[in-house]
Amino acid sequence: MTRTLSLDDELTPLVDAFRDGRPTIIPTDTVYGIATGAHVPEGCERLSRLKGRDPAQPMALVCGSVDAILTTVLPELLGPAGERARRLLPGPVTLIVPNPARRYRWLAGPTPDRIGLRVPDLDPRLAAAIDHVGAIAATSANPTGHPPPQRLGEVDAALLDRVAIALDGGEVGGLASTVIDLTGPEPVILREGPMTADEVQRRLEGL
């Protein structure tokens, strides 16, 4: 049975679900996502199946803070890509970054030397819960082909019934993240979203 929490509740059950690889639903700064601990390959595969997507399709690695990326999650994220990531995060973006150590291979699809990375602009209580486990894997909480939910009440009922924890954070932005490839000599916007090209450029000025 799904347990529903609010941001005012004690979030230890959510942290425990992340650690155990159980599926959860959480609010981000863009849409509601279905998530689990990134360190549990079978849990990440379960998320894909719940959503009705190919388990070989890449899934984003989500951290609660930039510090978590640099210290434990992707400590090899250095050089221009690392500097650009620091400028763009946190925020409503998914960054494709180099992954030379091939960490979290089960999230990277057919290109394990690169991986999708998010640090959403989250409520500090949720960010801290994610940092407790290092990182989570997440994708939008909608069946493939359906619009992503802006509110917990918009999450597909069949999907909601199959998660351990659902965190109600109220209404969120509703527009999928801007996707930016940082693996080449220059950043490339692959999908426009809440962070406009002008804002991306403004943040990257001076690099």
The structure tokens listed for 48 are: 């894909």
- Say what angle helices 124-133 and 12-20 make with each other, to 10 degrees: 30
Distance between CA 162 and CA 159 in Å, rounded? 5
Pairing of strands 136-140, 60-62: antiparallel
Pairing of strands 24-27, 32-37: antiparallel
What mean pLDDT is predicted for residues 157-185?
Answer: 96
Cβ neighbours around 137 below 10 Å, total: 28
Mind listing the pLDDT tens digit for each residue in 187-205? 999 999 999 999 999 999 8
Mind listing the pLDDT tens digit for each residue in 43-82? 999 999 998 888 889 999 999 999 999 999 999 999 999 9
Cβ neighbours around 184 below 10 Å, total: 11
Evaluate the omega torsion of the peptide bond into residue 90 and state whether it is cis, within 30 degrees of 0: yes
Judge if pTM exceeds 0.75. yes
Domain architecture of the chain: domains with CATH:
3-204 (3.90.870.10)
Provide the H-helix boundaries in the chain: 12-20, 41-51, 66-68, 79-88, 124-133, 157-160, 197-204
